[in-house]
A and B are shown apart, each in its own frame.
Chain A
Amino acid sequence: IAGITQAPTSQILAAGRRMTLRCTQDMRHNAMYWYRQDLGLGLRLIHYSNTAGTTGKGEVPDGYSVSRANTDDFPLTLASAVPSQTSVYFCASSDRDNTGELFFGEGSRLTVL
């Protein structure tokens, strides 16, 4: 039972490079989310998708883009990475809106130099 799988687990990236964080779930959940987690701050929502084919902006969307071509996959792309995007990124899914339990991936630790 995989749940949510994120890749890569960890990555060091030069500033200005393009990077895609992958997220796949096998629970057939409609809603998927991308969060970043920084020391001393709460989880901050980057982008979300309530169902395949739709996406929305969260609290901190600038510099990031997402797509939701199907139910299972929800990749997050940094078009041109900057050092302030150094963070731990979590993908999550839920079978309904934000009153449902969130299932998180194991996280992707990204360092931008």
Chain B
Amino acid sequence: GQNIDQPTEMTATEGAIVQINCTYQTSGFNGLFWYQQHAGEAPTFLSYNVLDGLEEKGRFSSFLSRSKGYSYLLLKELQMKDSASYLCAGVDSNYQLIWGAGTKLIIKP
């Protein structure tokens, strides 16, 4: 079956760095998304990786290793507003999105 695994919850300190991991098992692979979702709000797009390597966007970076079925989202210089859930989603060979349950990130002062 197809599956996306990510930790349920993580805690980090304001100003620090946190890495949120995601492993995927999909039938075929056409890329991986990260979305941010604040409580009570809609998900918003963060990144899309289809090739191996690290892509950086300001304080956020996303990494992909297709051979390992693995991705991570790296958040630097954490701010209180980064408290949110982070959703990992893989695109399978039929271009269907397979979503993880999300990682709730709690930022402490």
Indicate whether A106 reaches chain B with its CB closer than 8 angstroms: yes
Residue interface mask B20-43, A partner, CB < 8 A = 1: 000000000011010100000111
For the complex formed, measure the closest distance between the CB of B89 and the CB atoms of chain A, giving whole angstroms. 8
- CB neighbours of B48 from chain A (8 A): 99, 101
For the complex formed, measure the closest distance between the CB of A51 and the CB atoms of chain B, giving whole angstroms. 14
The answer to whether B42 touches A99, judged by C-beta atoms less than 8 angstroms apart, is no
The answer to whether A98 touches B95, judged by C-beta atoms less than 8 angstroms apart, is yes
The answer to whether B42 touches A107, judged by C-beta atoms less than 8 angstroms apart, is yes
- CB neighbours of B99 from chain A (8 A): 42-44
Indicate whether A34 reaches chain B with its CB closer than 8 angstroms: no
Indicate whether A104 reaches chain B with its CB closer than 8 angstroms: yes
Indicate whether B64 reaches chain A with its CB closer than 8 angstroms: no
* Interface bin, chain B: 20 to 34
CA distance A102 to B101 in the complex (A): 17
Can you pick out 7 interface pairs between chain A and chain B where the beta carbons lie within 8 Å of each other?
Answer: A40-B101, A41-B101, A42-B98, A43-B43, A90-B43, A99-B50, A102-B35
CA distance A96 to B99 in the complex (A): 18
Counted as pairs of residues, one from A and one from B, with CB atoms less than 8 Å apart, the total is 48
Q: A43-B99, A98-B95 known; 15 other A-B pairs, CB under 8 Å?
A: A42-B87, A42-B89, A42-B100, A42-B101, A43-B87, A45-B97, A98-B30, A98-B91, A99-B30, A99-B50, A102-B33, A102-B43, A102-B45, A102-B97, A106-B42
* Interface bin, chain A: 10 to 19
**In the complex with contacts A41-B101, A42-B4, A99-B95 CB distance below 8 A:** yes
CA distance A41 to B8 in the complex (A): 10
The listed residue with most B CB atoms (<10 A of its CB), out of A40, A98, A103, is A98
